[in-house]
Chain A
Amino acid sequence: MMRTVSADETAPTTHPWAVHAQELRVRAGRHLAVDGLDLALGTGVHGLLGPNGAGKTTLMRALATVVKPAGGRLTLLGEAVDGRADLRRVRRGLGYLPQQFGFYPRFTVREFVEYMAWLKEMPKSAVPGAVQRAIDRVGLTAKAGARMKTLSGGMLRRAGIAQAIVNDPAVLLLDEPTVGLDPEQRLDFRELLRDLGVDSCVLVSTHLVEDVVVACTDVVLINEGRLVYQGTPDDLMTQGGQGDAGDSPAERGYSALLRRHRAEAGR
């Protein structure tokens, strides 16, 4: 499969970080769900961890340019994201699977992914090949002609991932992508993540610490809208001790980091 590569695509990146947030503040309703977050993400797979209400989804939404930051600075792919910015260029490089994945139920999987490719303003000639590749990569080849409304929960999640990756995004945002996947599918998904992280910045939000350890190159832990910890999975495992809650070194590390952060905040 050959396609024309545009000058845009081969141009060297001039930004050090794909995602760069400084003192970022984002509202969820009236509440400041992200409150002074500093974060820099480059190429690789970043696992976003944090308890419920930590601001994971709000952060994802801000990075997806769906919600405007209330303060601080956010730079995506070298371009500032603020009220006046023209987001079209940045958005062409984004892939996003929202927590609540909305879709047109009467469309087939292929039609919906193609529709999303069109919304992402992909060059016309590249669309059919890219659509097929995205569907193949998530293992939905046999279901490509099925209506979206006939898919099971796990298949829907994979269709959601297919639409997110169809444009080979430089920044891929997946909000709880493993919900509804069976164990075998999760293994395939980890494989896919490692593959995607080779040349793009993937941010995966999840509650499954084990997924992060196995599939991610980097762990990001946030709580109450602030960055608690950023490091490698190996380093995460060294953070916890025998007294911390959890069934694995990574889970104990997660618990220990949160406990320490809460203790500091309480002081």
Chain B
Amino acid sequence: MTRILGIELRRSAALGSALALAVAGTLLLFFAEGIGFSTGWMQLAMTQRLYLAVLWPLALAAGAWQARREHRSNVEELFGSTPRPRAHRIVPTVGAMGVAVVGGYLAMGIAGALWIVSTARYFPAAVLAVTAVGVLALVAAVWVGLAVGRLLPSLVTAPALGIAGLALLLLIPAATRPRGWLALVFSPIYEMNMPDAYATVPGRVSAAQAVWLAALAVAAVLLFASGGRRIRVAALLPLVLGAALAVTVMPHQNRFVTDAIDPVARALVCTDDQPRVCVSRVHSGLLAEVTPKAREALTVLTKLPGGPTEVHEDTTAYPDVYPAWREDVALVSVEAGPDGHVLEPSAIPAEVVFGAFASPPGCEKPAGWPERVAAASWLTGREPVADEMSDPAMLDSAVQLWQSLRQLPEAEAQKRVVALRRAALSCSVDEGLLTGNAR
């Protein structure tokens, strides 16, 4: 059997399929929308899953293509005279195609892994589950392709099946709306787009997806192996059972299954020495890059009496997860760039100082953006710069405020900046506080 499996691996569509998936997958990973997986292993696993949008239909088509071989090469007569039952005969083919798609998917994963291996640290077990579901999705697809290709042995079956698979993936979310959890049962790509730093896929979600895909794979093999109508009808059984079980296992609240957050990824990892700088565990590989920049800012902040003495990563997560409020902590957002290193490290000091003028959550009178920017710029001695989010009018007003601060005597300016911070902390910022025109 192993020798025959070896022959099938070499001579069937297996090798070509593996190569097609590996190449297409790697190109998508790096070039489709830029590198979106540089944050870490979970982001890589989820991004791979997203690109099943292309790989899944490809695997369907590859299976259908392979299944045509028997029909095309007219071996039914000869094989019909041999003792080995069809159910045995298909095992090497099914195995070779399965190995091929698994290999292709893992090769794509390795290409991504090489990119982030030096920067990514945190490796939760859920990464393995997300990858395993992706692998299972491709195995199920290539086997469904074999089954359909056998039942409809035509030249157009492979491309038509691929297109149908793509259409199915694209239609599932619309067809199940507003039940996002239901789309998640049947679509391996749903909710995998642009994962946040703390994103995860809950274990029960992966389990439900695995149940459905395994049922699909079993049904496909039954169909491919079947000699008669009775087994073909029997193939419906795993489909129905699998769908029912998967729907039961999947949590039925969208809130739980979509935008799921991994608290361990979000938990802080800090420097051992003072002053403390902390980043989330998922960014722990970036701590060494963030720390000097953050400390640079903390030195600047010593000008503020009672100013922040620690810098933490801002671990706010959509829609309603916030870091604990502390007056002695300045928050800064940390993001990995395409190369896995900190995106714009030079912007960190200004952002940390800006963070020192934050208000507690739920504050109704926080400091405005221009005031905060102007105060921070006065402390750092650098002109306010636009970030991609700020609108030009706000920036203009920030620059004006900054210039008016600079024209003031040092002591007066310092007084106003300190006052702004106090007011921000106590949630009582009045308009004109920086300009001295407080009403």
Chain A residues near B (Cβ < 8 Å): 61, 64-66, 87-89, 91-92, 94, 96, 98, 100-107, 111, 114-116, 118-121, 127, 163
Whether B77 sits at the interface, judged by CB under 8 Å, is yes
- CA A24 – CA B74 in complex, angstroms? 27
Known: A88-B83, A103-B78, A119-B79. 19 other contacts (CB 8 A): A64-B80, A66-B80, A88-B85, A91-B81, A94-B82, A101-B78, A102-B73, A102-B77, A104-B11, A104-B69, A104-B75, A107-B11, A111-B11, A114-B3, A116-B78, A118-B4, A119-B82, A119-B83, A121-B82
Name the residue of chain A whose CB is nearest to the CB of B2. A124
- CA A91 – CA B77 in complex, angstroms? 13
Whether B252 sits at the interface, judged by CB under 8 Å, is no
- A98-B78, A102-B78 known; A107 vs B83 contact (CB < 8 Å): no
Do residues A66 and B81 form an inter-chain contact, with CB atoms below 8 A? yes
Whether B177 sits at the interface, judged by CB under 8 Å, is no
- CA A116 – CA B7 in complex, angstroms? 12
Task: Give every chain B residue within 8 A of A64 (Cβ-Cβ).
Answer: 80-81
Whether B415 sits at the interface, judged by CB under 8 Å, is no
- A111-B7, A114-B3, A114-B7 known; A103 vs B80 contact (CB < 8 Å): no
- CA A102 – CA B72 in complex, angstroms? 9
Whether B84 sits at the interface, judged by CB under 8 Å, is yes
- CA A88 – CA B7 in complex, angstroms? 24
Do residues A120 and B84 form an inter-chain contact, with CB atoms below 8 A? yes
Whether B89 sits at the interface, judged by CB under 8 Å, is yes
Whether B410 sits at the interface, judged by CB under 8 Å, is no
Do residues A103 and B73 form an inter-chain contact, with CB atoms below 8 A? yes
Task: Give every chain A residue within 8 A of B89 (Cβ-Cβ).
Answer: 119
Name the residue of chain A whose CB is nearest to the CB of B71. A102
Task: Give every chain B residue within 8 A of A127 (Cβ-Cβ).
Answer: 3
Task: Give every chain A residue within 8 A of B75 (Cβ-Cβ).
Answer: 102-104
Do residues A119 and B84 form an inter-chain contact, with CB atoms below 8 A? yes
Question: A241 to chain B: closest CB distance in Å?
Answer: 40
B54-88 interface (Cβ within 8 A of A): 69, 73-85
Task: Give every chain A residue within 8 A of B83 (Cβ-Cβ).
Answer: 87-89, 91-92, 119-121
- CA A105 – CA B79 in complex, angstroms? 15
- CA A127 – CA B85 in complex, angstroms? 19
- CA A120 – CA B83 in complex, angstroms? 6
23 pairs from A and B in contact (CB 8 Å cutoff): A61-B77, A65-B81, A66-B77, A89-B83, A91-B83, A92-B83, A94-B82, A100-B77, A101-B78, A102-B73, A102-B75, A102-B76, A102-B78, A103-B73, A104-B11, A107-B11, A111-B7, A115-B7, A118-B1, A119-B89, A121-B83, A127-B3, A163-B78
Task: Give every chain B residue within 8 A of A118 (Cβ-Cβ).
Answer: 1, 3-4, 84
Contact digits for B2-13, partner A, Cβ 8 Å, 1 yes 0 no: 011001000110
Task: Give every chain A residue within 8 A of B7 (Cβ-Cβ).
Answer: 107, 111, 114-115
Task: Give every chain A residue within 8 A of B73 (Cβ-Cβ).
Answer: 102-105
Name the residue of chain A whose CB is nearest to the CB of B69. A104
Question: A121 to chain B: closest CB distance in Å?
Answer: 5
Question: A63 to chain B: closest CB distance in Å?
Answer: 9
Contact digits for B179-202, partner A, Cβ 8 Å, 1 yes 0 no: 000000000000000000000000
Task: Give every chain B residue within 8 A of A94 (Cβ-Cβ).
Answer: 81-82
- CA A105 – CA B69 in complex, angstroms? 9
- CA A171 – CA B74 in complex, angstroms? 23
Chain B residues near A (Cβ < 8 Å): 1, 3-4, 7, 11-12, 69, 73-85, 89
- A115-B4, A119-B79, A119-B89 known; A100 vs B74 contact (CB < 8 Å): yes
Task: Give every chain A residue within 8 A of B84 (Cβ-Cβ).
Answer: 118-121
- CA A200 – CA B81 in complex, angstroms? 18
- CA A199 – CA B224 in complex, angstroms? 39
Task: Give every chain A residue within 8 A of B81 (Cβ-Cβ).
Answer: 64-66, 91, 94, 96, 98
Question: A263 to chain B: closest CB distance in Å?
Answer: 36
- CA A64 – CA B81 in complex, angstroms? 6
Q: Which 10 A-B pairs have the closest CB atoms?
A: A102-B74, A91-B83, A102-B75, A119-B82, A64-B81, A88-B83, A96-B81, A106-B11, A66-B80, A98-B77
Question: B80 to chain A: closest CB distance in Å?
Answer: 4
Do residues A96 and B78 form an inter-chain contact, with CB atoms below 8 A? yes
Question: B87 to chain A: closest CB distance in Å?
Answer: 12
Task: Give every chain A residue within 8 A of B77 (Cβ-Cβ).
Answer: 61, 66, 98, 100, 102
- CA A72 – CA B1 in complex, angstroms? 38
User: Which of B12, B80, B89 gathers the greatest number of chain A CB atoms within 10 Å?
Assistant: B80
- CA A119 – CA B75 in complex, angstroms? 12
Do residues A116 and B82 form an inter-chain contact, with CB atoms below 8 A? yes
- CA A163 – CA B75 in complex, angstroms? 13
- CA A103 – CA B4 in complex, angstroms? 15
Question: A125 to chain B: closest CB distance in Å?
Answer: 12
Task: Give every chain B residue within 8 A of A107 (Cβ-Cβ).
Answer: 7, 11
A91: contacting residue among B3, B74, B82, CB under 8 A: B82
Question: B381 to chain A: closest CB distance in Å?
Answer: 72
- CA A51 – CA B73 in complex, angstroms? 28
- CA A87 – CA B7 in complex, angstroms? 27
Question: A66 to chain B: closest CB distance in Å?
Answer: 4
Task: Give every chain B residue within 8 A of A98 (Cβ-Cβ).
Answer: 77-78, 81
Question: B4 to chain A: closest CB distance in Å?
Answer: 5
- CA A261 – CA B280 in complex, angstroms? 96
Name the residue of chain B whose CB is nearest to the CB of A93. B83
Name the residue of chain B whose CB is nearest to the CB of A97. B78
Do residues A120 and B11 form an inter-chain contact, with CB atoms below 8 A? no
- CA A100 – CA B12 in complex, angstroms? 22
Task: Give every chain A residue within 8 A of B79 (Cβ-Cβ).
Answer: 119
Task: Give every chain A residue within 8 A of B82 (Cβ-Cβ).
Answer: 91, 94, 116, 119-121
